[in-house]
């Protein structure tokens, strides 16, 4: 599709029907098929940095894996073996292998728009 005619450009996609789109207003849309959310590029960069930290620092115990404040963090849910991404009032649940797929999408999208996500420490206060 010609970007000049479409209201978006596909930055990254995978076989799960997940996409990251660059919208015509400069925001990025995380599209998971039946659910999508749009973020400004700085918020996307922060989210990308969080999931990068979570994939590098994923302990087997419950608690916070990565955080950038109370409303932007990733937690392990040991009861279901899932990772919970809380970001500005939205909570997304990923199985560990799904988070790896999502981080690959974020890497491709960031590469396409020359965005460098912030780094977070590889430890988290679990209190």
pLDDT value of residue 67? 85
> pLDDT per residue over 46-80, tens digit each?
999 999 988 886 665 678 888 888 789 988 888 88
State the pLDDT confidence band at 121, using cuts at 50, 70 and 90: low
Mention the CATH class of domain 8-112. Answer: mainly beta
Mean per-residue pLDDT for 29-44?
A: 94
**In angstroms, how far is CA 20 from the centroid of its own chain?**
10
Domain ranges of the chain: 8-112
Mean per-residue pLDDT for 1-9?
A: 66
> pLDDT per residue over 91-118, tens digit each?
999 988 898 899 999 999 999 999 998 8
State the pLDDT confidence band at 30, using cuts at 50, 70 and 90: very high
CB 96, CB 81: distance < 8 Å: yes
DSSP-derived secondary structure for 67-124: ESSTTEEEEEETTTTEEEEEETTEEEEE-HHHHHHHHHHHHHHHHHTT--PPP--S--
State the pLDDT confidence band at 1, using cuts at 50, 70 and 90: very low
| C-alpha to C-alpha distance for 116 and 46, rounded to whole angstroms | 9
More confident position, 121 or 20: 20
**What pTM did the predictor assign?**
0.84
CB 56, CB 104: distance < 8 Å: no
Give all strands of the β-sheet with 63-67 in edge-to-edge order: 63-67, 72-77, 82-87, 90-94
């Amino acid at each position: 599709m010609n970007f000049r005619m479409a209201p978006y450009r596909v930055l990254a996609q995978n076989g799960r029907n997940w996409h990251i789109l660059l919208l015509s207003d400069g925001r990025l849309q995380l599209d998971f098929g039946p659910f999508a959310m749009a973020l400004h590029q700085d918020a996307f960069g922060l989210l990308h940095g969080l999931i990068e930290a979570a994939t590098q620092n994923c302990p087997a115990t419950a608690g916070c894996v990565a955080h950038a404040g109370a409303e932007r963090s990733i937690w392990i849910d040991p009861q279901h073996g899932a990772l919970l991404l809380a970001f500005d009032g939205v909570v997304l649940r990923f199985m560990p292998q799904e988070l790896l797929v999502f981080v690959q999408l974020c890497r491709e999208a960031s590469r396409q728009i020359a965005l460098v996500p912030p780094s977070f420490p590889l430890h988290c206060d679990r209190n």
